[in-house]
Homo-oligomer: A and B are copies of this chain.
Amino acid sequence: MKARVHVMLKDGVLDPQGEAVRHALGSLGFGGVQGVRQGKVIELDLAEGTTEDTVRQMCEKLLANTVIESYRIEMA
Protein backbone atom coordinates (compact mmCIF):
# COMPACT_ATOMS: atom_id res chain seq x y z
CA MET A 1 0.00 0.00 0.00
CA LYS A 2 1.02 3.58 -0.54
CA ALA A 3 1.01 6.65 1.63
CA ARG A 4 1.85 10.18 0.62
CA VAL A 5 3.04 12.74 3.16
CA HIS A 6 3.09 16.48 2.43
CA VAL A 7 5.43 18.52 4.61
CA MET A 8 5.17 22.31 4.44
CA LEU A 9 6.74 25.09 6.48
CA LYS A 10 4.17 26.52 8.90
CA ASP A 11 2.63 29.88 8.13
CA GLY A 12 4.85 32.63 9.47
CA VAL A 13 8.04 30.65 9.01
CA LEU A 14 10.22 32.36 6.42
CA ASP A 15 10.61 30.31 3.23
CA PRO A 16 13.68 31.61 1.36
CA GLN A 17 13.47 28.82 -1.22
CA GLY A 18 9.89 29.74 -2.10
CA GLU A 19 10.85 33.40 -2.19
CA ALA A 20 13.67 32.61 -4.64
CA VAL A 21 11.22 30.75 -6.89
CA ARG A 22 8.79 33.69 -6.77
CA HIS A 23 11.57 36.07 -7.76
CA ALA A 24 12.77 33.81 -10.56
CA LEU A 25 9.24 33.45 -11.99
CA GLY A 26 8.98 37.24 -12.06
CA SER A 27 12.32 37.49 -13.88
CA LEU A 28 11.07 34.98 -16.46
CA GLY A 29 8.11 37.24 -17.20
CA PHE A 30 5.39 35.42 -15.25
CA GLY A 31 3.46 38.27 -13.66
CA GLY A 32 0.95 38.08 -10.85
CA VAL A 33 2.72 35.49 -8.73
CA GLN A 34 1.88 36.75 -5.26
CA GLY A 35 3.46 34.08 -3.18
CA VAL A 36 5.27 30.77 -3.40
CA ARG A 37 5.77 28.19 -0.65
CA GLN A 38 7.91 25.15 -1.26
CA GLY A 39 7.58 21.93 0.66
CA LYS A 40 8.35 18.24 0.44
CA VAL A 41 6.26 15.32 -0.66
CA ILE A 42 7.29 11.85 0.47
CA GLU A 43 5.77 8.77 -1.15
CA LEU A 44 6.01 5.67 1.01
CA ASP A 45 5.55 2.12 -0.24
CA LEU A 46 4.40 0.27 2.87
CA ALA A 47 3.53 -3.27 3.92
CA GLU A 48 -0.19 -4.09 3.71
CA GLY A 49 -2.05 -3.22 6.88
CA THR A 50 0.16 -0.32 7.94
CA THR A 51 -2.08 2.17 9.71
CA GLU A 52 -2.26 5.91 9.33
CA ASP A 53 -1.23 6.09 12.97
CA THR A 54 2.09 4.41 12.14
CA VAL A 55 2.67 6.91 9.33
CA ARG A 56 1.89 9.71 11.80
CA GLN A 57 4.62 8.36 14.11
CA MET A 58 7.05 8.34 11.16
CA CYS A 59 6.22 12.00 10.56
CA GLU A 60 6.64 12.98 14.20
CA LYS A 61 9.93 11.11 14.58
CA LEU A 62 11.65 11.66 11.24
CA LEU A 63 9.81 13.10 8.26
CA ALA A 64 8.76 16.48 9.62
CA ASN A 65 10.32 18.95 12.03
CA THR A 66 7.10 19.75 13.86
CA VAL A 67 8.54 22.92 15.40
CA ILE A 68 8.53 24.66 12.03
CA GLU A 69 6.76 22.26 9.67
CA SER A 70 3.23 20.90 9.38
CA TYR A 71 2.41 17.64 7.66
CA ARG A 72 -0.58 16.03 6.00
CA ILE A 73 -1.02 12.31 5.36
CA GLU A 74 -2.88 10.74 2.43
CA MET A 75 -3.33 6.98 2.54
CA ALA A 76 -3.96 5.29 -0.82
Contact = CB atoms under 8 A, between A and B. Distances in A.
A18 to B, nearest CB: 8
Given A39-B40, A40-B40, A34 B8 contact: no
A50 B25 CA distance: 14
Copies in the complex: 2
List 4 A-B pairs, minimum CB-CB distance, nearest first.
A32-B47, A35-B45, A34-B45, A37-B43
A76 interface: no
A28 interface: yes
A14 B4 CA distance: 19
A24 B42 CA distance: 14
15 contacts: A18-B42, A21-B42, A25-B58, A25-B62, A28-B58, A28-B62, A30-B58, A32-B46, A32-B47, A32-B50, A33-B45, A33-B46, A39-B42, A39-B43, A41-B41
